[in-house]
Amino acid sequence: MEAPSGAGPPTFLAELAQELADLEARDLRRRLLEVEEVLPGGRVRVGGQVLLNLSANDYLGLAQDPRLAAAAAEAARRWGAGAGASRLVAGHLRLHREVEEKLAAFKGTEAAVIFSTGYMANLGAITALVGPGDTVFCDRLNHASIYDGIRLSGARLARFPHRDLNALEKLLHGAPPRGRRLIITDSVFSVDGDLAPLKELVSLKERYGAVLMVDEAHATGVLGPGGAGLAEALGLTARVEVHMGTFSKALGALGGYVAGDRRLIDFLHNRARSFIYSTALPPPVLGAIDCALEIVRREPERRRRLLAEAAVFRQQLAAAGLNTLGSETQIVPVVAGSNRAALDFAQALREAGYLAVALRPPTVPPGQARVRFSLSAAHPPEALAQARQTIVRLARELGLPRT
C-alpha cells in the first residue's frame, strides 16, 4: 500500500493556498524577513544591505548589550540550558524566586510572577481572573493577547472606543450587577504610541467597583522615575490591582510578568493555566532579565535619552504635516492609509537604508495602515536626524496624507 502523502484530504493544501492568494490580492499577505546580522547602533543586515532598524522594540538597546549576553551565559553555565519542568512540578529554581523578588521591588509591588512570554502572561492572568458571568471592559486598541485572553475566558467583552472614558462609563453603568468587572488597558498603545488615561481609569474603576489591569509591555523600562511604567510615572501603582508587562521589549530579553498583591500572585500560581501547564522560563533568559533589571535601575540616562530623542522625532514629523496619530512615546506611527500605500512607504524607506515595517489590518483598523517607527537608545542621534529628513522627504514624494 502506498504511504500517506501527509497532504491530508485532496482539497486541504489547495484551500490554504487559495486563502494565501486572497491575502496577497488584498495586500495583506505577510512574509518573514530574515535578518542576516545584528550590528551595533541599532543596525541590521538584510538582503546584504545594512539598515537602521526602526522596527524593533529593543527600546533601551539592551538586546545586544554584552552584559546581558554574559549574564545569560553565566546562568546557563551554573543552572543549565533549561528549567526541566513547569514551576509547580520541579522547575522552580532559586533563580526564579530571586528574579521575581527583584521584579516586585522594581515594580513597587508586594510580589510578582514570571510567565514564558507577555502573550502567555495576558492569557494566563485574564483566564484566571474572569470567566462566564464576568465582564471585561477593553480599550479597542488593546493588544491581541488581551483579546485572546478574554475570548478564552468566556467572560463578556465590553469593548470601548480608544481612550473614550464616556463610553467606558456608559458600559460600566449598564453592566450586569453580578459578576466581576475587569477593566484592561495597555499603558502605552503598541501601534499608536499614545498613553492610556490611567488616572481617569483608576477613578472610574474605583467608582464602579471594578478591578484594573494595566499592560505595561511598551512602558516597562521606559516610563516612570525608576522605569517601572506609566503607573509608577503617575504615582498610581498602589491603585492598580494587576500590573502586567514583558521583558521582551525595553529589557532586551524574553518573558512576561504580572505584579501585585501577594494574594493575587498566589492565586495565579493556582489558576493561571499558561503558568501551570508550561515549562518554566530557562536559566539563561532569567540571567539576562536579572541583568537588564539592574541596568534599568542604574542607568536612568538611557530612558531619558530615548524619550528626549522620541520627542524631537515626533515633533519634526508632525511639523512636516505627517499624521503621527496621538503618539506621546518612543513609538511613532506615520499613517499611510491604504495597505498599498503603507507597503510602498516601507519599501521606499528600505531602499533608503531603513527597516520600518508596514502595519496593516487586522493589527490596525482598515484604512489606517501605517509605518510604525520605534526608537532605541542604541540609535546614534545623527542617524535619527538623517532618518527624520528621509522619512519626511519620502512621505512627500509618495503623497502620504497630511494633517
Enumerate binding residues for ligand PLP (CB under 6 A): 117-119, 122, 143, 145, 186, 190, 215, 217-218, 246, 248, 256
Is 173 noted as a catalytic residue in this protein? no
Side-chain-facing half-sphere of 246: CA atoms under 13 Å: 27
Indicate the residue whose CB is closest to ligand PLP: 118
Out of 96, 143, 249, 379, the active site residue is: 249
Is 327 noted as a catalytic residue in this protein? no
Residue 114 contacts residue 160 (beta carbons within 8 Å): no
Smallest gap, in angstroms, from Cβ of residue 387 to ligand PLP? 22
3-state secondary structure of 92: coil
> In Å, what is the CA distance from 388 to each residue of 320, 356, 359, 385?
10, 12, 19, 5
> In Å, what is the CA distance from 94 to each residue of 97, 99, 276, 288?
5, 9, 18, 15
> In Å, what is the CA distance from 324 to each residue of 128, 185, 194, 256, 403?
36, 21, 10, 28, 9
Residue 112 contacts residue 257 (beta carbons within 8 Å): yes
Smallest gap, in angstroms, from Cβ of residue 244 to ligand PLP? 7
Nearer to ligand PLP, 109 or 117 (CB): 117
Smallest gap, in angstroms, from Cβ of residue 393 to ligand PLP? 30
Is 190 noted as a catalytic residue in this protein? yes
Nearest CA-CA partner of 229 in 205, 253, 202, 250: 250
Nearer to ligand PLP, 221 or 256 (CB): 256
Smallest gap, in angstroms, from Cβ of residue 216 to ligand PLP? 8
Task: For residues 386 and 191, give the distance between their C-alpha atoms in angstroms, rounded to a whole number.
Answer: 23
Residue 342 contacts residue 336 (beta carbons within 8 Å): yes
Nearer to ligand PLP, 218 or 388 (CB): 218
> Rounded to the nearest 10 degrees, what angle do helices 283-298 and 66-79 cross at?
140
Out of 143, 218, 243, 379, the active site residue is: 218
Smallest gap, in angstroms, from Cβ of residue 140 to ligand PLP? 13
Out of 55, 116, 187, 190, the active site residue is: 190
Nearer to ligand PLP, 104 or 285 (CB): 285
Smallest gap, in angstroms, from Cβ of residue 16 to ligand PLP? 25
Nearer to ligand PLP, 43 or 249 (CB): 249
Q: Name residues whose C-beta falls within 8 Å of residue 98's C-beta, 6 or more positions apart in sequence.
A: 290
Strands (E) in 251-316, as ranges, are 256-260
Nearer to ligand PLP, 43 or 143 (CB): 143
Backbone angles phi, psi at 349, to 5 degrees: -65, -40
Catalytic residue list: 190, 218, 249
